[in-house]
Amino acid sequence: MTEQGKKLIYGWGRYPMAEARLSEPADVDSLRAELEADSLAACIARGSGLSYGDSALAGEVISSLGLRHVCELNPATGVLRCASGLSLGEVLSKIVPKGWFPPVLPGTAMVSIGGAVAADIHGKNHHRDGSFCDHVIKLTLMLADGEVVHCGPSQRPELFRATCGGMGLTGIILEAELQLVPITSSTMIARSQPAAGLDECFELLEVHEQARYSVAWLDCLARGPRMGRGIVHLAEHEVGGELRNRDRLGLRVPFTTPGKLLNRHSLSLFNSAYFRWQNFRAGRNRLDQNGYFFPLDRIRDWNRLYGAAGFLQYQFVLPAEAGRDGIATVLRRVSDAGKGSFLSVLKKMGPANGNLLSFPAAGYTLALDFRRETSLFPLLDQLDAIVLDHGGRIYLAKDARMSETVFKAGYPDWERFLAIKQRVDPSMRFRSAQSDRIGLTGLGA
């Protein structure tokens, strides 16, 4: 039973869950009225709810999905002005037919524009094009006192650097202006190459670093010389062709499955079958953009496959010089623990930007999915130690349990961020379960 007026909400990992009063103002005036209400305690903004853990959980949650009335494209310059509540999929449907494309896309089209900014998302092209906020020209933000301000790389740059990747803690993002990139086709030319082990995966990513998009799937349960075997996926935009956005409906997982269906044995069978199948079909393929960028969107509610207990995604980045050793150590520890990951994704990353809490940094990032069970948490603590020992950090948008110590060791600019937040939000109005847990807005902040 939830308290009257509250509902149970959670992120994509379905862990943790929290009771919250959820409101969805339809415009800026309604949003300001929400913030000025005497009954409103500390709150956090929430977009599509696709961060994996508790970064958008609080006792009071304000949805940005009602803020979706603006989507204006300058077809000559490719500058897009759009409301924060719009999803990337909705934006794609408007801009692709006109020959423009977002400079950075994550693995799902359902992410909101506000969420893309708050997490400073990255994609398969970070090694070449950086993260989402590297292409943001200006943000419109509502502060805790209801004031609407603008910020950008040259306008209130400190606030901009704190807001990009700041997980919604500086204010509520209303709009973003974004520089798009031109395309002449909505088709992708994709290539897949098998790698017999982890070293070969790294070598292929390095050899093909000029590819616009690159990502590797790893078999995290393979041992010995096969450890880290995988498939490296490369892609470019096709030159010439049709410009249309294909939004195909896919299958839906109709119910929450028993979580124990995903175990070491079933994952081992899946990984082996997937590796053989991808090895068989390796080569050059033409794919529509959604098929390449958002393959899991065709399996709606796929998070239900992990069972009622939910799952955690563990994503970290390591500097280039420590990447191979650190990732090999993580894979060995995961394999020894028998905690295979359904999705194990390795990417090469480009240089970090100046945003204070942004995740990307030059090197390599690995993302692993784990079914939630009691025995998982000691393993994740061990992985934390490996990541810190190798000079890395954990992605806030995927985190559900990182300690304050681990956060502050991985994000050395947290004090600069906190100083800016205290200037624009001295009463700590914007706070989340995550920000309290990692010491940004809790009693020790």
Quick check: bond before 16 cis, omega within 30? yes
Q: How far apart are CA 171 and CA 12, in angstroms?
A: 22
> Which ranges of 104-195 would DSSP assign to H, the alpha helix?
113-118, 126-129, 157-163
Final residue before a domain boundary, out of 123, 155, 183? 183
CATH number at residue 269: 3.30.70.2520
CATH number at residue 81: 3.30.465.10
User: Which residues fall within 8 angstroms of residue 417, CB to CB, at 6 or more apart?
Assistant: 162, 166, 356, 357, 411, 440
> Which ranges of 214-319 would DSSP assign to H, the alpha helix?
264-280, 289-293
Q: Judge whether 372 lies within some domain.
A: yes
Q: Judge whether 87 lies within some domain.
A: yes
Q: How far apart are CA 105 and CA 300, in angstroms?
A: 18
Kindly state whether residues 252 and 113 are assigned to the same domain. Answer: no
Q: How far apart are CA 64 and CA 173, in angstroms?
A: 8
Final residue before a domain boundary, out of 132, 167, 183? 183
Q: Judge whether 134 lies within some domain.
A: yes
Each residue of 183-225: pLDDT tens digit?
999 999 999 999 999 999 999 999 999 999 999 989 877 778 8
> Which ranges of 184-263 would DSSP assign to H, the alpha helix?
198-207
Q: Judge whether 3 lies within some domain.
A: no
Percent of the chain topping pLDDT 70? 90
**Residue 273 predicted with pLDDT over 60:** no
Least-confidence region, from 147-156, 296-305, 395-404: 296-305
Strand, helix or coil at 415? helix
Q: What strands lie across the sheet with 43-46, from one edge to the other?
A: 7-10, 17-23, 60-63, 43-46
Asked if 64 and 113 touch (Cβ cutoff 8 Å), the reply is no
Least-confidence region, from 241-250, 332-341, 368-377: 241-250
- Positive/negative CA dihedral, 391, 397, 402, 407: positive
Model confidence at 443, pLDDT cuts 50, 70, 90, reads low
**Residue 1 predicted with pLDDT over 90:** no
Kindly state whether residues 241 and 321 are assigned to the same domain. Answer: yes
**Residue 40 predicted with pLDDT over 70:** yes
**Residue 80 predicted with pLDDT over 80:** yes
- Exposure pattern of 90-114 as b/e (b: 16+ CB <10 Å)? bbbbbbbeebbbbbbbbbbbbbbbb
Q: Judge whether 92 lies within some domain.
A: yes
Maximum distance among all Cα pairs of the chain, rounded to whole angstroms: 62
Q: How far apart are CA 86 and CA 67, in angstroms?
A: 7
Mean pLDDT of 166-190: 97
Strand, helix or coil at 325? helix
**Residue 369 predicted with pLDDT over 70:** yes
Q: Judge whether 38 lies within some domain.
A: no
Token look-up 């086709």 returns 185
Kindly state whether residues 201 and 286 are assigned to the same domain. Answer: yes
Q: Could you tell me the residue range of the domain that residue 359 belongs to?
A: 187-408
Tell me the one-letter amino acid at 275: F
Kindly state whether residues 250 and 295 are assigned to the same domain. Answer: yes
Q: Judge whether 107 lies within some domain.
A: yes
Q: How far apart are CA 116 and CA 364, in angstroms?
A: 21
Among 194, 352, 337, 221, smallest CA distance to 275 is for 194
Model confidence at 23, pLDDT cuts 50, 70, 90, reads very high
Half-sphere exposure of 380 (CA within 13 A, CB side): 25
Asked if 154 and 172 touch (Cβ cutoff 8 Å), the reply is no
Structure tokens at 237: 């935009």
In 336-410 the beta strands, taken as DSSP E runs, fall at 344-349, 363-371, 393-394
Each residue of 279-297: pLDDT tens digit?
445 566 788 898 889 988 8
Structure tokens at 355: 């945003």
Residue 235: its H or E element:
strand 230-237
Structure tokens at 214: 């690159």
Kindly state whether residues 285 and 402 are assigned to the same domain. Answer: yes
Q: Structure pTM?
A: 0.93
Residue 11 DSSP code: -
Each residue of 140-166: pLDDT tens digit?
999 999 999 999 999 999 999 999 999
Tell me the one-letter amino acid at 132: F
| Three-state SS sequence of 371-408 | ECCCCHHHHHHHHHHHHHHCCCEECHHHCCCCCHHHHH
Q: How far apart are CA 398 and CA 293, in angstroms?
A: 19
Q: What is the pLDDT of residue 400?
A: 98
Kindly state whether residues 175 and 199 are assigned to the same domain. Answer: no
Number of structural domains the chain divides into: 2
Least-confidence region, from 121-135, 225-239, 286-300, 377-391: 286-300
> Which ranges of 175-319 would DSSP assign to H, the alpha helix?
198-207, 264-280, 289-293
Q: What is the pLDDT of residue 4?
A: 56
Kindly state whether residues 390 and 259 are assigned to the same domain. Answer: yes
Final residue before a domain boundary, out of 151, 183, 215? 183
**Residue 260 predicted with pLDDT over 70:** no
Q: What is the pLDDT of residue 280?
A: 42
Q: Judge whether 320 lies within some domain.
A: yes
Q: What is the pLDDT of residue 339?
A: 83
Kindly state whether residues 366 and 233 are assigned to the same domain. Answer: yes
| Alpha-carbon distance values, 392 to 6, 364, 366, 371 (Å) | 38, 10, 11, 23
Asked if 316 and 364 touch (Cβ cutoff 8 Å), the reply is no
Question: Angle at CA 109, nearest 5°, toward 105 and 115?
Answer: 75
Kindly state whether residues 118 and 253 are assigned to the same domain. Answer: no
Percent of the chain topping pLDDT 90? 75
Q: What is the mean pLDDT of the chain?
A: 90
Mean pLDDT of 46-67: 96
Q: What is the pLDDT of residue 264?
A: 56
Q: What is the pLDDT of residue 224?
A: 85
Kindly state whether residues 149 and 252 are assigned to the same domain. Answer: no
Q: How far apart are CA 316 and CA 300, in angstroms?
A: 26
Q: Between these two residues, 379 and 286, which has the higher pLDDT value?
A: 379
Mean pLDDT of 96-105: 97
| Alpha-carbon distance values, 127 to 150, 210, 262, 343 (Å) | 29, 9, 32, 21
Q: What is the pLDDT of residue 255?
A: 55
User: Which residues fall within 8 angstroms of residue 404, CB to CB, at 6 or more apart?
Assistant: 437, 438, 439, 442, 444
Q: What is the pLDDT of residue 38?
A: 67
Distance spanning both ends of the chain, measured CA to CA: 33
Kindly state whether residues 237 and 332 are assigned to the same domain. Answer: yes
Q: What is the pLDDT of residue 15?
A: 96
Kindly state whether residues 235 and 326 are assigned to the same domain. Answer: yes
Mean pLDDT of 323-331: 96
Model confidence at 275, pLDDT cuts 50, 70, 90, reads very low
